[in-house]
A and B are shown apart, each in its own frame.
Chain A
């Protein structure tokens, strides 16, 4: 791995001005699409991602329907303009993989067995990408599912941690992801202390990996609180408005 840029300076400040264990600023919005059953939007640093949920609804094509539970279908897609160099709108190998791992991270959270022979369609559209989009995708997707009124065991959160310039850091951005030593995204359900997604790209020792996972889980717990605030916010705003009248 060739070093081009200095990613962490002597004071432990990263390229975007954060300290090693800081998260990027997160902005969450709920229910922003009129035609979807549930939707959410996230801005995490320079990431901008939309999620939409349709269903549960009839399964088309019919033969995909499962007799004992609902079918969760997930499409993670990056807009052609979401990255520096135009990306082909056709689903790439990477997008197919991310669709699968995001789906598998969310599946255990949903009471799929309550709605056999139906489908829940989930669309995650990355409008602007700056590293860690699979984690941000999981965060918005679970908010969109909650907004759609789909019963869930817990909200699913995700956050990455990794190693950059020899230091363990939280919530990597694009340049840290590309030029750093390692990136470990983790998806997590806090109520059950269960991990639904764990990947590693790069090199870490066993001890470093353990520390990195702990760091990522800590980030998850912080974002979890933001998710809950965002969900409540949608309805609290109306309630306060009415009380003022």
Chain B
């Protein structure tokens, strides 16, 4: 909580789940002025027993409820419900309707992060992303996937996922220097398989099915996944 020196900030927390509950508790302990909005009457009552009068049984997506809670003088609105759509609406209403300087959204689907930022949410908290990042440190994801062995183990059927940073993006099959004895075979895009054509241009998100001699795998990896991930993929 850098930058919150206590006392003069007014925070509205929307969503009284676990995140909202502990967040409210911490902020109260630090001496901030705060309102916790929880739309479910039962949950709100339970929260009020624990946290006191800062809990209001109001829906943070409703303009009138936000106004009642004092959104027009809030410095921060934090939307931490378990529902991405609700969190987005809370932040957009706060930002565009009440000119709240700082909005924070919990985002559960990591794919919503870019959109939320683009739509003006100031800060994104993504529990999914945090856990994912922790896991990815241990498990390399930039790997070739071995699907099957062919010809008694001399050839392999391999799947390569074209990530955002793949050197193959924007290139055609002919632009890719493949080792001898290696063939790109099928392209999977938007969950549909298509055969590799000379005019195919690789995009992020594509999957490429290739047949490769076992010893050529490192070259294939470099071309499709990228040198940056070689250690992770080894």
Q: Are the chains A and B members of one assembly?
A: no
